[in-house]
Structure 1
């Protein structure tokens, strides 16, 4: 079976990749050209089901697609640094005889340029013109950065990684060089993609155990006979057998409303959209039995997967009725699936274990706080943030912050007032990012 690879780039990049791709018959490649960042998303959406992975040849397009986050397939890109940057600089120094101070850069991080110059033993002054690149930065703004420097006589040439910026600069009469992927980097990327694909196959074959806990007796005030209870269990079991067939698994009932489904990681990954959503399951929707919670465990053995599943079920029940959680083989926990406040955290961490000893706060709770910071993309949180994402009472969140504050891990840095009529909320800087 060949690996279906979708390649997105402009003509210049695609031509280089096509030269190398013949060396890799394991891939069936489809090429797509684009004009705007929105084109990248449209292409992925249109051909997602016909590809196994994507290779985005422009770093700008890759970052845009990553931020969009709508692809279920692996996204790869070829870094425009190292050999690619060295090749461009050598061309400039040899053909144009320019100094590094005469050039402006975009997309390539400032630290990479400094590192590259140091490795080439090139001396440079205090000023290197590098555009502060963000994925939200419009292409016109990147062009304008180079053009203004050139027009004001501060540079003699521009270096860009973006094909459209090169075209715009050439049209304006600015001497411009484009960083393109070198063949060595392309070969290395094909090797990495082949390896990742095969690792994914192995990973998808891992054992997965799903444990459901149901409330079989819906009316707590009604007195049930043993026959009635047994009949309710049979009806629920029949529905779960149908579900188990869908995920190519087998069912095991253990009593007290608990049922285990043994399947593979790949089957559950598919039905949950890569462990992001709760699947729409016809058998459950038509059931009068209420799902208390669901835990999914992944493991290298059935025992490990089952242990992780029961751990996930325990965490899921803390989030309320019908919650789904998953514990992976590396003990990373994700969930609740399908919720906006979905977190990824761990029950195990040496660094967090030390903080746990100082604060008497569990490693899992500390890891959840790190997950909230990653979700909100800030290290400044309020007690309300903790309460909302961790599904706990505000007073419990305040107690957690108080313990962290006593140990110098949470530092009050200000207030926020999201509701003009409400009381201001204290904001704390959480020093957990390095843990």
Structure 2
């Protein structure tokens, strides 16, 4: 099966990229030409699901689409550094007699441009550069170059953006466009092919769902006789068998009220919307979501995946009935799925392992705390807030913060009064 590669870029860049991609029989290309940056989203939106990966002719369209956030497939862009820039500077120097310090540049960072000039043995360095991290308009770049040229500070502009090139030509500014080269396109294509192979391998990794079903809820309103219990388990098993077939997996019993479904990572990633949501078990399979607590484990072997699923289930049970957690093969734990307070923390951190040895707190507790602070975007938190995030009692959260304070890893920085009659809550700054 061919890799479907979407390619978006200006007309002159796509011609060069296309000459390279035609040499790869494993690629099926979808070229999209844009004339103005503001048209990019309208051009690409109808084809969001038509490509397995996306390649952009430069940094600007790549950054715009990445920040847009609607494409979840892997993306890359062709860099303008290296042979592309060297070819442009060689032309300016040897055919036009223009030196580097007489040129205004855009797109590159100062560090990479300096490094390039040192490698090219150009000693004087550059004088004028417009670097940008996000997207930028052609008009803004054209204004930068034109102002320097009209002031007599430069003799030419070097731009990486096609629309800026056309705008500068209209304004009568001498401009030279840095175009991709075959040497620049080839390594990006090879990188995308390797990424595709890696993702295919990950999709076929073993994944295990460990589900714990509350059979007492199934028996609600009935008796607790042995035959009724067995009938409830049979009904649940039949529902889970249909769900397992939907996952192209197999079902096995793993203890009273506990079941394991063995499938693949790619299928589970799809049904959980990239591990952010729980599948609709009730409408599709007649299983009440609040009756099922689930741990998903990913591993290189079925045994490893099952161990990870059991660990994820323990974390899910800590969060309460109906919670789903995921334990990945890199030891990262994510969840609960389907909630606005989903966090990700690691079960294997050298830094947190060292801190755990200094305190009475486990690595996982410290990892959860670290993840919560990153999610909140602040190092300050009180026990009530920490308890809500970790779904533990405030007094348990208070013990965690007091332990960190005692070991010099947290300090009280203030107090908050939730209401006039309530006891003030200490605010801690955590220093992990």
- TM-score when scaled to structure 2? 0.85
Q: CA deviation at 1:166?
A: 2.0
Indicate the residue corresponding to 1:157 in structure 2.
Answer: 156
Residues 253 and 21 from structure 1, CA distance in 2 versus in 1: closer, same or farther, beyond 3 angstroms? same
Deviations 1:116-150 (A, max 9, x none): 1222232346x743334132544433333333333
Indicate the residue corresponding to 1:232 in structure 2.
Answer: 232
The structure with more radius of gyration: 2
Moved more, 137-146 or 308-317: 137-146
Contact 1:44/1:71 (8 A) holds in 2 = no
1: CA distance between counterparts of 2:413 and 2:153? 41
Q: CA deviation at 1:262?
A: 0.5
Contact 2:401/2:428 (8 A) holds in 1 = no
Q: How does 1:145-224 map to 2 (within 5 A)?
A: 145-218=144-217, 224=224
Residue correspondences, number:
427
SS at match of 2:5: strand
2: CA distance between counterparts of 1:151 and 1:413? 55
Contact 2:334/2:345 (8 A) holds in 1 = yes
Contact 2:206/2:302 (8 A) holds in 1 = yes
Contact 1:93/1:99 (8 A) holds in 2 = yes
Q: Aligned-residue CA RMSD in angstroms? A: 3.4
Q: CA deviation at 1:426?
A: 5.5
Q: CA deviation at 1:192?
A: 1.7
2: CA distance between counterparts of 1:183 and 1:255? 59
Contact 1:106/1:160 (8 A) holds in 2 = yes
1: CA distance between counterparts of 2:174 and 2:426? 53
SS at match of 2:49: helix
Moved more, 153-162 or 266-275: 153-162
Q: CA deviation at 1:208?
A: 0.7
1: CA distance between counterparts of 2:33 and 2:413? 48
Residues 8 and 346 from structure 1, CA distance in 2 versus in 1: closer, same or farther, beyond 3 angstroms? same
Contact 2:212/2:259 (8 A) holds in 1 = yes
2: CA distance between counterparts of 1:397 and 1:296? 27
Indicate the residue corresponding to 2:355 in structure 1.
Answer: 355
SS at match of 1:49: coil
Indicate the residue corresponding to 2:24 in structure 1.
Answer: 24
Q: Structure 2: which 5+ runs fail to align?
A: none
2: CA distance between counterparts of 1:411 and 1:148? 52
Moved more, 97-106 or 290-299: 97-106
Deviations 1:163-215 (A, max 9, x none): 22222222222222333222112111222222222222222111110111121
2: CA distance between counterparts of 1:399 and 1:85? 59
Contact 2:281/2:289 (8 A) holds in 1 = no
2: CA distance between counterparts of 1:427 and 1:40? 46
Q: Does 1:295 align with 2:283?
A: no
SS at match of 2:133: coil
Residues 104 and 399 from structure 1, CA distance in 2 versus in 1: closer, same or farther, beyond 3 angstroms? farther
Contact 1:240/1:283 (8 A) holds in 2 = no
Q: How does 1:353-392 map to 2 (within 5 A)?
A: 353-372=353-372, 375=375, 378=377, 380-383=379-382, 389-392=389-392
2: CA distance between counterparts of 1:140 and 1:395? 58
Deviations 1:235-273 (A, max 9, x none): 111111111111100111223321110111121122222
Q: CA deviation at 1:331?
A: 1.4
Contact 1:204/1:266 (8 A) holds in 2 = yes
Residues 289 and 279 from structure 1, CA distance in 2 versus in 1: closer, same or farther, beyond 3 angstroms? closer
2: CA distance between counterparts of 1:315 and 1:266? 22
Moved more, 52-61 or 83-92: 83-92
Contact 1:207/1:300 (8 A) holds in 2 = yes
SS at match of 1:255: coil
SS at match of 2:254: strand
SS at match of 1:131: strand
